[in-house]
Amino acid sequence: MTRFRLAASVAALMLLTSTVAMAHGTLFDDFRNATAAELAMKEVPSAPGAPAVILDWVQRVDDSDLDSSQYYRIKILTEDGRKYADIEIPYLPLYYDLHRVQARVTKPDGTVVDFKGKFYDKVIIRAGGTRVSAQTFSIPDVQPGCIIEYRYDLGVRGQYLHNSRFEVQHELPVLHTLIWLKPYLSSVFSTFFTYRGLPEGKKPLKIKDHYELELENIPAFEKEEHASTSTVPWFRTTRSGGDRGRIGRRRSSRSSANRRTSSICR
């Protein structure tokens, strides 16, 4: 079997696992159990030597609930890959509330250990009255063969819709990614997409009240010399009819905080 066909088979298996999990009622941005194939994985056929691989990456934005989330599931393949157990979540505290940060590790024997350590906050950029903060933590006892998972929610302060940007390429190879967007519906708002660099035939699909983009087997990003950006973006933009994006305040169904959200890209 060629490397390409084997990589496609692995990606299809991960996608099937994700689909089955959702069919049984698991939220698509919540933790999921590792399969025997994932626990046995030693390398990525399409990226030999990769220190780690993202098994699942979910980016969810719900404009109607003013809420968004990110979920990562990463298989550690080498000693160098252990660095991905040191997590840093950047955000703008002036505009966003960071909460429901959770993490866990699945050991090579399948044992699951929830993260119960400490979280730390630090300022990484300060410019004028705006600062970029980060919440950091380290998942302990991670070794090659482990699968680490972490997720978090972002709620937007205030009552304004922003344009949103989603990235689908990472410094690690990605076997499966899902981008999920539920737009805010109103006669004074419109939602449209612009994007480039996606695989042929791939674009956001409307499914009932939301949009989805699902991709598999994405190679790690390799920044070219003198390149001005590290990603190839595609965007979702929401605009209003004169109120500068202000909407009525709503209560999120996922927590007691009031929310508001953002957009899509690659």
What b/e sequence results for 40-65 when a residue is b if at least 16 CB atoms lie within 10 Å of its CB, and e otherwise?
Answer: ebeebbbbeebbbbbbbbbbbbbbbb
Q: Determine, yes or no, domain membership for 140.
A: no
pTM score: 0.78
Q: Determine, yes or no, domain membership for 11.
A: yes
C-alpha closest to that of 71 among 100, 51, 45: 100
* Count: domains in the chain: 1
63-76 pLDDT, tens per residue?
888 889 999 999 99
78-123 pLDDT, tens per residue?
999 999 999 999 998 888 899 999 999 999 999 999 999 999 999 9
Q: Determine, yes or no, domain membership for 15.
A: yes
C-alpha 155/C-alpha 127 separation (Å) is 22
Q: Determine, yes or no, domain membership for 265.
A: no
Q: Determine, yes or no, domain membership for 202.
A: yes
Q: Determine, yes or no, domain membership for 90.
A: no
Q: What is the structure's pLDDT at 258?
A: 28
C-alpha 213/C-alpha 168 separation (Å) is 10
Low-confidence ranges of the chain (pLDDT < 50): 1-26, 228-244, 249-266
Q: What is the structure's pLDDT at 201?
A: 85
Q: Determine, yes or no, domain membership for 179.
A: yes
Q: Determine, yes or no, domain membership for 264.
A: no
Q: Where are the alpha helices (DSSP H) in the chain?
A: 3-23, 36-40
Domain range spanning residue 159? 3-78+146-259
Q: What is the structure's pLDDT at 247?
A: 55
Residue type, 136: T
CA 43 to centroid of chain Cα atoms: 22
C-alpha 233/C-alpha 165 separation (Å) is 8
